[in-house]
């Protein structure tokens, strides 16, 4: 008999729509394969829904804040029901760009130079800090958003306009802009599943490039890299997955420049939409969408 699966999607983060899409795509695939499925929002009725539906596994399809930062994971732990993806602490570490990048540096994984900023400097002090530590152009981003939400490439002309637009965040990160190629790597537990290269028409692989079908980002599944370099980036992603303590599936985002891979971040709950990369990588390596979902569910059922 097929298991009962509760999918949690939606939420209140800026990635709500992506989460809803992920939830619907996963539910559709599971229903096609005779699973009993229910979709729920992570609101105050979650406990009631869980007790009434009695799922065998909870598929966490949430993205962004409160969904992949350890918050919902902490709540799910109280129900003693297997749930997908990483646990509370690894999720929190991966979501916090400052903590994860410090961890990358500690374990000698290349990542772009950076510093954090708490809106406590004058304009001239900020310019001086950028000039001395990073040089223009720079990337500015929130510490705990996903899907490239509010990520900008800044130069001297637009820096203060962009910084002022981010003041609702307590803290942001300034990062050295790395040109070069966009490489993404999928890890499934102990398996280095594969990689994909992205060629966005936009300046970089931002929110629009990821989710707007009109953005026309080119996906290259057969990457033009020597085998040893491809193996190198797969190994780096695997190491990062293990260092953070991730479980299930992760997708690591890299820039490849001057022969070096720079790890930007590790995503503990990569999307499962029609434009998502992990299902595309999986399909290329002979794993269908339903097999990928079933692998994630089976992995969730293993002892944490």
Residue 214 has a pLDDT of: 53
The question of whether 34 is a catalytic residue gets the answer no
The question of whether 191 is a catalytic residue gets the answer no
* pLDDT greater than 70 at residue 44: yes
The question of whether 33 is a catalytic residue gets the answer no
Burial class (CB in 10 A: 0-12, 13-18, 19+), 175: buried
Place of tokens 């969408």: 289
The question of whether 71 is a catalytic residue gets the answer no
The question of whether 267 is a catalytic residue gets the answer yes
Residue 267 has a pLDDT of: 96
Contact 182, 104 (CB under 8 A): no
pLDDT, mean over the chain:
90
* pLDDT greater than 70 at residue 179: yes
Mean pLDDT over 29-50 rounds to 94
Residue 163 has a pLDDT of: 84
The DSSP string of 102-154 is HHHHHTT-----EEEE-S-S-HHHHHHHHHHHT-SSEEEEESS--TTTT-EEE
Q: In what order do the strands lie in the sheet with 152-154?
A: 114-117, 172-176, 138-142, 152-154
**Between the ranges 15-24, 154-163, 214-223, where is the mean pLDDT highest?**
15-24
* pLDDT greater than 80 at residue 216: no
* pLDDT greater than 90 at residue 25: yes
Per CATH, domain 4-85 is 3.30.930.20 = no
Superfamily name with CATH number, domain 114-176: ATP-grasp fold, A domain (3.30.1490.20)
Q: Of 41, 68, 206, 265, which residue is the catalytic one?
A: 265
Give residue 205's pLDDT band: very low, low, confident or very high (50, 70, 90): very low
The question of whether 47 is a catalytic residue gets the answer no
The question of whether 288 is a catalytic residue gets the answer no
Burial class (CB in 10 A: 0-12, 13-18, 19+), 269: buried
Give ranges for CATH 3.30.1490.20 in the chain. Answer: 114-176
Residue 304 has a pLDDT of: 54
E runs forming strands in 200-279? 218-220, 249-257, 260-267
The question of whether 251 is a catalytic residue gets the answer yes
Beta-bridge partners for 278: none
Of 5-9, 40-44, 96-100, 280-284, where does mean pLDDT reach its minimum? 40-44
Give ranges for CATH 3.30.470.20 in the chain. Answer: 94-110+179-301
How far is the C-alpha of 6 from the C-alpha of 125, rounded, in Å? 50
How far is the C-alpha of 112 from the C-alpha of 258, rounded, in Å? 13
Give residue 211's pLDDT band: very low, low, confident or very high (50, 70, 90): very low
Give residue 295's pLDDT band: very low, low, confident or very high (50, 70, 90): very high
Of 18-32, 210-224, 226-240, 259-273, where does mean pLDDT reach its minimum? 210-224
Q: Of 15, 29, 68, 175, which residue is the catalytic one?
A: 15
Of 7-11, 68-72, 204-208, where does mean pLDDT reach its minimum? 204-208
Those residues whose C-beta lies under 8 Å from the C-beta of residue 283, and which sit 6 or more positions away, are 289
Q: Of 19, 144, 252, 267, which residue is the catalytic one?
A: 267
CATH placement of domain 94-110+179-301: 3.30.470.20
Give residue 210's pLDDT band: very low, low, confident or very high (50, 70, 90): very low
Q: Of 197, 205, 271, 276, which residue is the catalytic one?
A: 271
Instruction: Give me 282's structure tokens.
Output: 């999986």
Residue 208 has a pLDDT of: 47
Q: Of 60, 147, 150, 252, which residue is the catalytic one?
A: 147
């Amino acid at each position: 008999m097929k298991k009962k699966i509760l999918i949690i999607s939606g939420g209140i983060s800026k990635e709500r729509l992506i989460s809803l899409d992920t939830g619907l795509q996963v539910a559709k695939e599971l229903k096609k394969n005779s699973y009993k499925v229910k979709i729920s929002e992570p609101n105050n009725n979650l406990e009631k829904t869980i007790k009434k539906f009695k799922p065998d596994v909870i598929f966490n399809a949430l993205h962004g804040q409160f969904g992949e930062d350890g918050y919902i994971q902490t709540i799910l732990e109280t129900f003693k029901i297997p749930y997908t993806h990483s646990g509370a602490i690894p999720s929190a570490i991966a979501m916090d760009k400052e903590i994860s990048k410090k961890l990358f540096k500690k374990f000698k994984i290349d990542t772009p130079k950076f510093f954090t900023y708490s809106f406590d400097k004058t304009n001239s002090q900020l310019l001086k800090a950028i000039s001395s530590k990073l040089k223009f152009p720079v990337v500015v981003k929130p510490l705990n958003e996903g899907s490239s939400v509010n990520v900008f490439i800044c130069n001297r002309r637009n820096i203060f306009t962009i910084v002022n637009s981010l003041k609702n965040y307590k803290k942001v990160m300034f990062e050295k802009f790395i040109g070069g190629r966009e490489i993404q790597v999928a890890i499934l537990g102990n398996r280095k599943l594969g990689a994909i290269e992205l060629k966005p028409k936009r300046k970089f692989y931002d929110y629009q490039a990821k989710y707007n079908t009109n953005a026309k980002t080119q996906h290259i599944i057969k990457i033009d890299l020597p085998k040893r370099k491809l193996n190198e980036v797969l190994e780096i992603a695997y190491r990062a997955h293990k260092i953070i303590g991730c479980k299930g599936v992760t997708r690591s985002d890299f820039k490849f420049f001057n022969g070096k891979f720079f790890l930007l971040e590790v995503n503990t709950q990569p999307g499962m939409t029609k434009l998502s990369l992990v299902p595309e990588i999986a399909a290329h390596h002979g794993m269908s969408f339903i097999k990928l979902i079933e692998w994630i569910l089976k992995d969730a059922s293993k002892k944490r």
